[in-house]
Structure formats: structure tokens, C-alpha cells
Structure 1
Amino acid sequence: MFSGPIEQSKAATEASFQVSYRIAQKCKPFSDGEYIKEIFEEVSDSLFVNFKNKNEIKKAVHGLQLLRITVMRHIEIISKNLNEQLKRGIALCVAFLLQFDESTDVTDTAQLLVFILMVFEDFSTKEELLGMISLKGKTRGLDIFTEFKAYISQIKLCIYKLVSMTTDGAPAMTGIHNGFIALCHKDEDFPDFISYHCIIHQQVLASKRLNTKHVMDISFKIVNSIKGKSLQRRLFKQQLDEKEPELAMH
């Protein structure tokens, strides 16, 4: 007798969580949930005009809970759930890798982003953002190490599963004596791990080593010749339209 309403209530709750997740993903205001519901209610008359269960669909749309406070609560629940999933993943994985990216926000505060790549027994992997550490003072290797050590102690990270770290080539990270990586190697709490440059820096180093100047000089001349004059651009685009229509669109 009550199975129908209960299932409908579950479906409405699930849909509300999905909308809330998309709002958070796109960094939109929480109040946009009500706006989305209003639009959905307005278009439902035209969209479902030939559906026999049109009234049931409109009723289901009307039942969506997308008030600002509700969206905020849903996002908080999603955030806690994702955090719990991350903790379970770290506990179950056999090893993990860490990657660091430092940047400065609009308030001139240095933010250290820590990404984790977990490897499980079946050789599957999962990459997540482990956390963000604010460096409000100096950003020396010792400062980064101190903040990171306090952070992993706070979240109780199983540091013995660490197998590698990837950083940029900044002296604060890669310094031989006082760099972040060097300090981690000296600390007894850290296992023996491998350190890498990030892929972008590896590509830059490789390009300098390979010496592709003779190739790049010709490429630059061709591009500048095409882009330098409007007539050249039109003729080039026309040629692409005739031979490779899909390529011309890109």
C-alpha cells in the first residue's frame, strides 16, 4: 500500500542529490537549485505534453527538494561521503603515490595541493585530491615539510604505503639538503620512496635534451606564414574544408 509513495520519495531524494552534486561541481550558488526546479516545472508542460502520465511526472518534479538550505545540506553529506570513501580507499590500497602542485590564490596565499594515486591488490588504481594545505608564511622546503607532516598526522595517513612522490622542479621541492623531498628522505617516519619531476617538467627537459630546433623552426615559419595574412588563413581554411571537413571545424 505504501510502496509507491516510498519509492517516489526515494527517487525525488536521489534526484535532489544529483542536482546538488552538479551545482557543487560547477561552483554555482546554492540558490540555483530553486531556479532549476522552476525551469523544469515550466518546460514540463511542453516536454511531456503527449505522455499519458504527464500529471505524475509534473507531480514528481514538484516534489524535488531544492531549497538553498537543502542543497547546502546535500552537498555537506556528499562531501562527508566522498571523504569516507577516500579513507576506505587508503586503508584498502596496497600502495599509493603522492603528487604535489603549489600555486597562489587571489589572496596571495600559497596553496599546496596534494593528489593521491592508490593502487589496489587487483592492480586497479584510483586518483583523488587528498587535500589542500595553506602556506600562509614562507614557502621554503622546511615550511612545506612541516605543514605536510602536521597534515598527514592529522588525517592519520598510512605513510608506510608511500612508494613515490612527484613534484615540480622548484628548489624548495628538490633542493639537495633543505628541499622538501630531501627532508622527507631524512625523516624516519617516511619509507624509502622514489621521487619524480611532474610530467610537464619531464617533457620540457626531454625537449631541451633532444634538440628539435631544426623541426620547430620550420613549423614556426609555416604557422606564421598562414596566420600572418588574412588571405592565407582563408585559403588554408578553404583547403581544409575541401579535404578534411571535421578537421577544419576544430
Structure 2
Amino acid sequence: MYTFVSRQKTSLEASYEVALILTKERKSFREGELVKKCAIKMAEVFGEKKVAEKFKTVSLSHQTMARRVTNLSRHVSCKLEILMGKCRYFSIALDESTDVSDISQLLIFARIVDEDFLVHEELLEIHPLSGGTKGSDIYAALDSVVSEYGGFKKCSCIATDRAKAMVGNKTDLVGLLKQNGVDCITLHCIIHQEALCGKVLKMMDVMQSVVKMVNLIRGGNKAQRHRRFMSFLDEVDA
């Protein structure tokens, strides 16, 4: 009886491991059966008939793979709920993008400081913006997700991209947050801040000089010049 239960537990664990790998590699759930056939055939070739029989007990149908991934998603969500519920503070980073089917979606990332002041960075949710990408749509999506984890009470900062629907002070995300009593710091993403600074500073003359120097050393059929330049750097210990 113990051997049977132990084998069932191992088969279940193996099924989850395959589901996790297929998901990470963005493969079809139907490829689970192919993995099973390959594993059985390899075991038989190596003369491991007992191992081959064990592989046969692992359920890898596409329906099973879908259920495994759903259970894994629920498990991660439960862990996040516990972590967010017990945390001291958390901050949020937002990015509005589109997927391969051209559907707008809001990516919501969280940086969480737990009771022991350990920092965790997690993707809370990828929320589809089927209704539109206005500030009100983004606020509604963010509010619905954060409400599942206890609301904005412990939120210390929200970082956004430079989209106009996010940074406006009236009808866009930042303005709607303030109107609804969300009192926390709102920032541009640091990468977008650098891009904006680059536009304001207007340093095209500097970039043109840099590009000319790079092309002089590295561009075209200039391998000999590049080798000389590398030798020069070695000589001056640069």
C-alpha cells in the first residue's frame, strides 16, 4: 500500500514538473504526450523496463496539463495573498503593453517588504484592457487587482511608464488615484526618465561625435585599425 501511494505521489509530482517546463518554454499542452513517449522510449533503450513502467503512470494529456497549470497559478496567488497581507509596505510598477494578438494589457509588478524586512519582487497580474487604455480603464484595472490583496493602505509608491493616460493629474491614473484617496508617491519609470532627459538636453552634437569615432575604429572593413586601437588601450592600461 505504501509503495502504491508513494508511486502515485511521485507520478503526480512528475506531472507538475512537466507542466511547469512546458509553460516556461511556451509550448503547447499537447506536447506533454510527446514528452511521455520520448521518456518511455529512452528508458526502454537503456534497458530500464521498470523505469519505463513508471513513466507510463505519469498523466501528461493536454487536459491534465491545463489543470496542473491552473493549480500552479492558484498556488502562486495564495502565496502572494499571504505575503501581501502580512507585509509592512509594498510598491507597484506599471507598464501598459500589447500581446502577440494585439490586445492591450496592463502589467502590474510589486516590490514587497515583509515582516523580516526581506524584499520580494513579483508579478501580481497581467490584466487585459479590453475596454480601452484611458486613465479610467487603467485605474479600474489596477484598483481591481490591488483590492484582491488588501487595497492601497500599505502602498508606498507607484511607478508608471510615460504614457499620458497614466501621468495626467486630472482624469488620468495619477489624478484618479489622488481623487480616490490613494496617498502615495507616484514616479516615472527610471528608464523613461532617462529617455526624457536625453530629449530635453538635446545632446545630438555629442552623439554624432561618438558615432563618428565608433565608425572610424569599428565600422566597415577596419579590422586592422580596431586591433591597433585595442593594442593602444593595452599599452595605456585602459
TM-score under structure 1 length normalisation: 0.78
> Does structure 2 retain, via aligned residues, the 8 Å contact 1:91–1:158?
no
- Name which of 208, 232, 237 aligns with 1:217: 208
Give the superposed CA RMSD. 3.0
Query: Is 1:114 the counterpart of 2:108 in the alignment?
Result: yes
Sequence identity of aligned pairs in percent? 31
What is the CA distance between 1:235 and its match in structure 2?
A: 7.5
Query: Is 1:78 the counterpart of 2:72 in the alignment?
Result: yes
Query: Any idea what SS the aligned residue of 2:222 has?
Result: helix
Distance 1:234 1:142 in 2: 59
Query: Is 1:195 the counterpart of 2:194 in the alignment?
Result: no
- Name which of 222, 227, 234 aligns with 1:232: 222
Distance 2:23 2:92 in 1: 25
Question: What whole-Å deviation, never above 9, does each CA across 1:75-125 have from its counterpart, x for those lacking one?
Answer: 121111111111111111111111111113455432112111211121212
What is the CA distance between 1:197 and its match in structure 2?
A: 1.0
Query: Is 1:93 the counterpart of 2:83 in the alignment?
Result: no
TM-score under structure 2 length normalisation: 0.82
Distance 2:140 2:223 in 1: 55
Question: What whole-Å deviation, never above 9, does each CA across 1:168-220 have from its counterpart, x for those lacking one?
Answer: 122211113333112202212x2x21111112112324545777657643432
Structure 1 segments of 4+ aligned residues over 4 angstroms from their partners: 206-215, 233-237
Distance 1:88 1:176 in 2: 33
Match of 2:172 in 1: 179
Match of 1:130 in 2: 124
Instruction: Give the paired residue count.
Output: 232
Query: Any idea what SS the aligned residue of 1:121 has?
Result: coil
Match of 1:163 in 2: 156
Question: What whole-Å deviation, never above 9, does each CA across 1:8-32 have from its counterpart, x for those lacking one?
Answer: 2222211110001111222211110
Alpha-carbon spacing, 1:221–1:67, altered in 2? closer, same or farther (3 Å): same
What is the CA distance between 1:33 and its match in structure 2?
A: 0.5
Query: Is 1:65 the counterpart of 2:59 in the alignment?
Result: yes
Distance 2:35 2:128 in 1: 35
